[in-house]
Structure 1
Amino acid sequence: MSAQVFRLPDLGEGLTEAEIVEWLVAVGDEVTIDQNVVTVETAKATVEVPVPFAGTVSALHGEIGQLLEVGAPLITVGGAAAEGQATGSDPRAGHEQYRTEERAGAAPPEGSDTTEDEGSGAVLIGFGTGHGKTGRRARRPRGAAAPATATAPVAPVTEQSPAPAAPTAGQPATAVTGGQAPKVISPLVRREAAERGIDLATLTPSQPDGIIRRADLEQASGEPTAEQAPAQTAAAATGSTAPATGTRTTGLRDEREPLTGVMRIMTERLTTSRREIPEATTWVDADATELMRAKDALKTARPEAGIGILPLVARFVVAGLHRFPALNASVEMEDGRAVAVQRHARVNLGFAAQSPRGLVVPVVHDAQDMTTSELAAALRELTGLAREGRLSPAQLTGGTFTLNNYGVFGVDGSTPIINHPEAAMLGVGRIVDRPWAVDGEVRVRKVTQLGFTFDHRVCDGGTAGGFLRFVADAVENPTVLLAEL
Structure 2
Amino acid sequence: MAQVLEFRLPDLGEGLTEAEIVHWLVEVGDVVAVDQPVVEVETAKAMVEVPCPYGGVVTARYGEEGSELPVGAPLLTVAVGASESAAGGEPAPEKAPAAPAADEGSGNVLVGYGTGAPAARRRRVRQASPAAAVPAPAPAPVVGRANGSGAPVLTPAGGSAGPAGPVAVVSPLVRRLARENGVDLRTLTGSGREGLILRSDVDRAIRSADPEPPAAVAAPTGAAGAAGRPDVVRVPLRGVRGAVADKLSRSRHEIPDATCWVDADATELMAARTAMNAAGGPKISLLALLARICVAGLARHPELNSTVDTAAREILRLPDVHLGFAAQTDRGLVVPVVRDAHRRDAESLSAEFARLTEAGRSGTLTPGDLTGGTFTLNNYGVFGVDGSTPIINHPEAAMLGVGRIIPKPWVHRGELAVRQVVQLSLTFDHRVCDGGTAGGFLRYVADCVENPAVLLRTL
TM-score by length of 1: 0.68
Task: Write out per-residue CA displacement over residues 220-267 of structure 1, whole angstroms, 9 at most, x where no aligned residue.
Answer: xxxxxxxxxxxxxxxxxxxxxxxxxxxxxxxx9432211121110001
2:21 aligned partner: 20
Q: Quick check: 1:321–1:328 contact (8 Å CA) kept in 2?
A: yes
Task: Write out per-residue CA displacement over residues 148-204 of structure 1, whole angstroms, 9 at most, x where no aligned residue.
Answer: 3515227636469xxxxxxxxx989xxxxxxxxxxxxxxxxxxxxxxxxxxxxxxxx
Q: Quick check: 1:351–1:404 contact (8 Å CA) kept in 2?
A: yes
Aligned amino acid, residue 326 of structure 1 = E
**TM alignment of 1:106-117, pairs within 5 A:** 113=125
Distance across 1 between alignment mates of 2:301 and 2:131: 64
Distance across 2 between alignment mates of 1:9 and 1:60: 15
Select the residue among 126, 131, 134 that pairs with 1:150. Answer: 134
| Distance verdict in 2 for CA 1:453–1:345, change over 3 Å | same
SS of alignment partner, residue 441 of structure 2: helix
Task: Write out per-residue CA displacement over residues 6-26 of structure 1, whole angstroms, 9 at most, x where no aligned residue.
Answer: 221111122221110111112
Distance across 2 between alignment mates of 1:103 and 1:17: 23
Task: Write out per-residue CA displacement over residues 381-404 of structure 1, whole angstroms, 9 at most, x where no aligned residue.
Answer: 211222222222222221111100
Distance across 1 between alignment mates of 2:433 and 2:119: 42
Q: Quick check: 1:21–1:39 contact (8 Å CA) kept in 2?
A: yes
State yes or no: 1:437 paired with 2:437. Answer: no
Q: Quick check: 2:36–2:51 contact (8 Å CA) kept in 1?
A: yes
Select the residue among 238, 245, 257 that pairs with 1:260. Answer: 238
Q: Quick check: 1:24–1:37 contact (8 Å CA) kept in 2?
A: yes
Distance across 2 between alignment mates of 1:449 and 1:320: 17
SS of alignment partner, residue 308 of structure 2: strand
| Distance verdict in 2 for CA 1:152–1:484, change over 3 Å | same
Q: How many residues of Structure 1 are paired with residues of Structure 2 in the alignment?
A: 360
SS of alignment partner, residue 394 of structure 2: coil
Give RMSD over aligned pairs: 3.2
**TM alignment of 1:81-480, pairs within 5 A:** 85=99, 90-91=104-105, 98=114, 113=125, 148-153=132-137, 156=141, 158=143, 253-302=231-280, 304-334=281-311, 339-480=313-454
1:30 aligned partner: 31
| Distance verdict in 2 for CA 1:405–1:151, change over 3 Å | closer
Instruction: Quote the offset at 1:5 in angstroms.
Output: 2.1
SS of alignment partner, residue 244 of structure 2: helix
Instruction: Quote the offset at 1:63 in angstroms.
Output: 1.0
Instruction: Quote the offset at 1:91 in angstroms.
Output: 3.5
Distance across 1 between alignment mates of 2:22 and 2:119: 23
SS of alignment partner, residue 305 of structure 1: coil
Instruction: Quote the offset at 1:300 in angstroms.
Output: 1.2
Distance across 2 between alignment mates of 1:469 and 1:385: 33
With 287-296 and 407-416 compared, the bigger mean Cα shift is at 287-296
| Structure 1 gaps, min length 5 | 116-145, 161-169, 173-251
Q: Quick check: 2:54–2:80 contact (8 Å CA) kept in 1?
A: no
Q: Quick check: 1:21–1:65 contact (8 Å CA) kept in 2?
A: yes
Instruction: Quote the offset at 1:415 in angstroms.
Output: 0.4
Distance across 1 between alignment mates of 2:119 and 2:65: 23
Instruction: Quote the offset at 1:308 in angstroms.
Output: 2.6
Task: Write out per-residue CA displacement over residues 359-412 of structure 1, whole angstroms, 9 at most, x where no aligned residue.
Answer: 111111111111111111111121122222222222222111110000011111
Distance across 2 between alignment mates of 1:102 and 1:281: 50
| Distance verdict in 2 for CA 1:390–1:88, change over 3 Å | closer
Distance across 2 between alignment mates of 1:394 and 1:75: 26
Distance across 2 between alignment mates of 1:318 and 1:43: 29
Instruction: Quote the offset at 1:102 in angstroms.
Output: 10
| Distance verdict in 2 for CA 1:376–1:265, change over 3 Å | same
SS of alignment partner, residue 299 of structure 1: helix
Aligned amino acid, residue 294 of structure 1 = A
Task: Write out per-residue CA displacement over residues 345-364 of structure 1, whole angstroms, 9 at most, x where no aligned residue.
Answer: 11111111122212111111
Aligned amino acid, residue 303 of structure 2 = A
Q: Identity rate of aligned residues, in percent? A: 56
TM-score by length of 2: 0.71
SS of alignment partner, residue 256 of structure 1: coil
Instruction: Quote the offset at 1:56 in angstroms.
Output: 2.6
Distance across 2 between alignment mates of 1:20 and 1:351: 28
| Distance verdict in 2 for CA 1:443–1:157, change over 3 Å | farther
Aligned amino acid, residue 309 of structure 1 = L
| Distance verdict in 2 for CA 1:266–1:89, change over 3 Å | closer
2:173 aligned partner: none
Task: Write out per-residue CA displacement over residues 406-453 of structure 1, whole angstroms, 9 at most, x where no aligned residue.
Answer: 001111100000111111110000111222222332222111110101
Instruction: Quote the offset at 1:48 in angstroms.
Output: 0.7
2:175 aligned partner: none
Distance across 1 between alignment mates of 2:143 and 2:104: 30
Distance across 2 between alignment mates of 1:456 and 1:367: 24
Q: Quick check: 1:418–1:454 contact (8 Å CA) kept in 2?
A: yes
SS of alignment partner, residue 427 of structure 1: strand
Task: Write out per-residue CA displacement over residues 326-363 of structure 1, whole angstroms, 9 at most, x where no aligned residue.
Answer: 111111243xxx53222221111111112221211111
Q: Quick check: 1:5–1:76 contact (8 Å CA) kept in 2?
A: yes
Flag as ranges the 4+ runs of structure 1 deviating above 6 A. Answer: 93-97, 99-105
Distance across 2 between alignment mates of 1:86 and 1:380: 39
Distance across 2 between alignment mates of 1:86 and 1:99: 10
1:51 aligned partner: 52
